[in-house]
Amino acid sequence: MPRNPAWTSDELILALDVYINKPGARIDKGDPALAELSSLLISLPLHPNRPDATRFRNVNSVYLKLQNFKAVDASYSGTGMRAGAGVREHQVWQRFADRPFELASEAAAIRVAARQLGTADFSRDDVEEVDGGVIEGAVGDHEI
């Protein structure tokens, strides 16, 4: 089965914002924040190639990404899902985990930029592969 593209920094910031600022979404797949984030991620024009469109950033994949953040969260007493907690998740965590208001502000800026982009089409020139195949692309204006 083909794999969907790796999560970009913007997508990870949005997911971490839900993880930090809507903690119920970490434990309840029915939390509305998961469906809202899934819809937003699906609407972003960051990934023109979606090999498995039915699973691309669906509620289950968003929930699993939150479980990856548990693996880097020192305050979480369990282990989380270490397999998906790569370099980018660690970088986003280190930058924002202790700054929830900055995280919320950055996530809000990404949401605003996404609304302004609407259905804009990103070409391959707008994204760059780094870190062993992780796709780097941005809707917001930030650095990790």
Q: Is residue 143 part of a domain?
A: no
Cα–Cα dist 47/9, whole Å: 13
Q: Is residue 105 part of a domain?
A: yes
Q: Is residue 30 part of a domain?
A: yes
Q: Is residue 131 part of a domain?
A: no
Domain that holds residue 106: 9-117
What's the domain count of the chain? 1
pLDDT greater than 60 at residue 140: no
% of the chain exceeding 70 in pLDDT = 78
Q: What is the pLDDT, as a whole number, of residue 135?
A: 35
Lowest-pLDDT range, 59-63, 88-92, 117-121? Answer: 117-121
Q: What is the pLDDT, as a whole number, of residue 120?
A: 43
Mean pLDDT confidence for 74-86:
77
Q: Is residue 79 part of a domain?
A: yes
DSSP code, position 7: P
Q: Is residue 92 part of a domain?
A: yes
Q: What is the pLDDT, as a whole number, of residue 32?
A: 97
Q: Is residue 135 part of a domain?
A: no
